[in-house]
Amino acid sequence: MNKPIIEFKNFTFKYVSQAEATLKDINLTINAGEKILIAGPSGSGKSTIGHCLNGLIPEIYEGDIQGTCRINGKDIIQSSIFDLSFTTSTILQDSDSQFIGLTVGEDIAFALENDCQKQEKMQKTIQSWSKKLNINNLLQQSPQALSGGQKQIVALAGVLVDESPILLFDEPLANLDPAAGEKTMQVIDQVQYSLHATVIIIEHRLEEVLGHDFDRIVLIDDGKILADTTPNNLLHQNKLQDSGVRPPLYLDALKKAGININKIPKLEKIKNLPTGPKIGAQLSHWIESNSENTSNESKHPLLTLKSIGHRYNKKQLYPLKDVTTTIKQGDFVSIVGQNGAGKTTLCRAICGFINYEGKISLANQDLAELSIKQRAEKIGYVMQNPNQMISQKIVFDEVALGLRLRHIDEDQITERVNQTLKICGLYPFRHWPISALSFGQKKRITIAAILVLEPELIILDEPTAGQDWKTYTEIMNFLNQLNHQGKTIMIITHDMHLMMEYTNRSLAFAKGRLIADTTPLALLTDDNLVKAASLRRTSLFTLAKHYNLPNPNKFVQTYINDERKHLQER
Ligand SMILES: Nc1ncnc2c1ncn2[C@@H]1O[C@H](COP(=O)(O)OP(=O)(O)OP(=O)(O)O)[C@@H](O)[C@H]1O
Ligand SMILES: Nc1ncnc2c1ncn2[C@@H]1O[C@H](COP(=O)(O)OP(=O)(O)OP(=O)(O)O)[C@@H](O)[C@H]1O
């Protein structure tokens, strides 16, 4: 078991187009059968490490290499992508670029066809994996007709059927609904157990992944390894926060309540936290001294949806149906629920990208009377996949495009674009080619390109998916600021804490239907709704339960109030 399968020795890599090395003097050994989490802020080089494991470096992404990187005993300089495809299976962050087959079934079969498996065995393998991942009803569908989360799960199946010794997952949870995310982590655990595979997961959402066991966390910052240790050791240090990775919420809650977490020996699982009365009493005291209810009831109706429906084709199992609700001026709405439930479809209808049943009005004007361009002046839409939105080569030009199309004066464009780039943390990159940026950085560009237009209603499809904590906070604080200035914001998200902390209202979807329109807290407290909409409670609820706090909701609310208070002070 202790045989190294991945060995980086004094490894430095510089992309051809970069002036500086992206990976700097990496020394990392991973043994066969280990399960490793690679965490670090956006642009720190996590995916670049992944590219070395699957041979994209140096074959596709050329650059200067110093030191060595050996995968399964072979130096990557001497291996081809083809050689490494037998060793490493990769699920990419951007699953769109991963599809080859015409149907989902064909796509999953592709890896097996490469291995020259018999048709019958292939069918069995595909059936078994698609059942485990709950996608057997999608096998005949075209991969391009899947929702964002469905694509992610199909890409995952394509990787798992391959049964390679190294499984590399680059942000596997980014687009999954909370229940599917948890299921995926369980499936990865099972695969590792049954295949004795080496599992490398690149993910910065520790809240979602740390409930599962990892041998080590490798923390990367600015191309260097900042820590390579057990989750428990790392949670006792401040390195995560210092490098901009958010620790799990329950640890933050313990700290906020004045509990010295360094005195607690085992931190990585809530169930292992000491259960004596002391911590519970301290948490209860914190709740009592901090409870206040914040509500910002908004008044004027802005967007009215009446019986909205859309069906892509006759085969569609659960078309969007009968969505009726009114979004008020100044609302900050989260749209949550199951992968494939129709969230993006609803937003496409609101923007007029697709035909729909029913009537949509903005401030009493029927939107059907407007052209898509006129609609876009009033409603800004930030899509899920940045690659579908980007059309320019240089960062500044991409953000300036909308203003240029509207013939705004060039001086004003420079001022507005620069201001937005600063807010989105992209100002230093303004003259960069977009192709040289990380996925997370590209996502931020597309948000900047919409924000710069200052529309009346902004709809964002998972703006924080794949974003590190710093960027997440920057983006959400910026949206929060816009919301406080009166802008109405709707946000599709699978991040339950984001929903709780930032939004005042949640629309929950399942199987094409709007099943709840309520406050985030009320939604997450209702067992039936949580199950039906594939949601998941955050670790704050689990902590409250672990300490038998009399009112878990009040505890969660206290945490949120505290976070909001700090937000206002910033
Ligand atoms: N193909 C490329 N060509 C040139 N530079 C690149 C390329 N891909 C990445 N980089 C550079 O390497 C840096 C690290 O990128 P990488 O994708 O490894 O980061 P990451 O830690 O995975 O980030 P994220 O969490 O945002 O995906 C980026 O800042 C980018 O400038
Ligand atoms: N272009 C398309 N053609 C045919 N069917 C589609 C198309 N786009 C989406 N669908 C189907 O419509 C349903 C709703 O998709 P939608 O993208 O609205 O889901 P979603 O709730 O946004 O999911 P996710 O959380 O995974 O992004 C899904 O079952 C999907 O397979």
> Are both 559 and 472 inside the same structural domain?
no
pLDDT for res 98: 66
Query: Which of 95, 315, 339, 344 should be mutated for ligand 2, with most atoms under 8 A from CB?
Result: 344
Does 238 lie in the same domain as 211?
yes
For position 120, which CATH number holds?
A: 3.40.50.300
Q: CA-to-CA distance for 176 and 337, rounded, in angstroms? A: 10
How many angstroms separate the CA atoms of 436 and 97, rounded? Answer: 17
- Mean pLDDT, each 10-residue run in order, the chain (570 residues): 89 94 97 95 92 90 95 89 81 67 83 72 84 84 82 80 86 85 85 86 90 95 97 94 93 94 92 88 88 62 96 91 96 95 96 95 93 87 86 96 93 95 90 87 86 89 84 81 86 94 95 96 93 94 93 90 77
Let me know if residue 296 belongs to a domain. Answer: no
Are both 367 and 487 inside the same structural domain?
Answer: yes
Q: Are residues 103 and 232 in the same domain?
A: yes
Provide the H-helix boundaries in 77-162: 81-85, 104-114, 119-132, 148-160
Q: Domain total for the chain?
A: 3
Q: What is the pLDDT of residue 292?
A: 63
Q: Which ligand is nearest to the CA of 354?
A: 2
Q: Tell me what pLDDT residue 247 has.
A: 93
Write the CB contacts of 304 (distance below 8 Å, at least 6 apart in sequence): 326, 327, 359, 360, 361, 364
Domain assignment present for residue 271? The answer is: yes
pLDDT in the model for residue 166: 92
> Same domain for 420 and 464?
yes
> Which residues sit with their C-beta closer than 6 Å to ligand 1?
15, 17-18, 22, 40, 42-48, 61, 436-441, 468
Residue nearest (by alpha carbon) to ligand 2 atom 4: 145
Do residues 232 and 266 share a domain? no
Residue 208 within a domain:
yes
Q: Is the peptide bond before 247 cis (omega within 30 degrees of 0)?
A: no
ipTM higher than threshold 0.85: yes
Whether 153 and 263 share a structural domain: no
Name the DSSP class of 471. H
Are 194 and 45 in the same domain? yes
Q: Do 20 and 97 share a structural domain?
A: yes
* Residue 40 Cα: closest atom of ligand 1: 21
Same domain, 262 and 335: no
Tokens of 367: 């939107």
Confirm or reject: Cβ of 152 under 6 Å from ligand 2. no
| pTM for this prediction | 0.85
Distances in whole angstroms, Cα of residue 278 to Cα of each of 31, 272, 275: 41, 15, 8
Identify the domain containing residue 331 by its residue range. 301-537
How much distance in Å is there from the Cα of 385 to the middle of ligand 2?
Answer: 14
Shared-domain flag, residues 95 and 238: yes
- 16 and 152 belong to one structural domain: yes
Yes or no: say if 291 and 555 are a contact pair by the CB < 8 Å rule.
no
The predicted structure's pLDDT at residue 425: 82
Q: How far is it, in rounded angstroms, from Cα 92 to Cα 438?
A: 13
**pLDDT the model gives residue 52:** 94
DSSP assignment letter at 341: S
Distance CA 383, CA 401 (A): 16
- What is the DSSP track for 348-395? HHHHTSS--EEEEEETTEEGGGS-HHHHHHHEEEE-S-GGGT---SBH
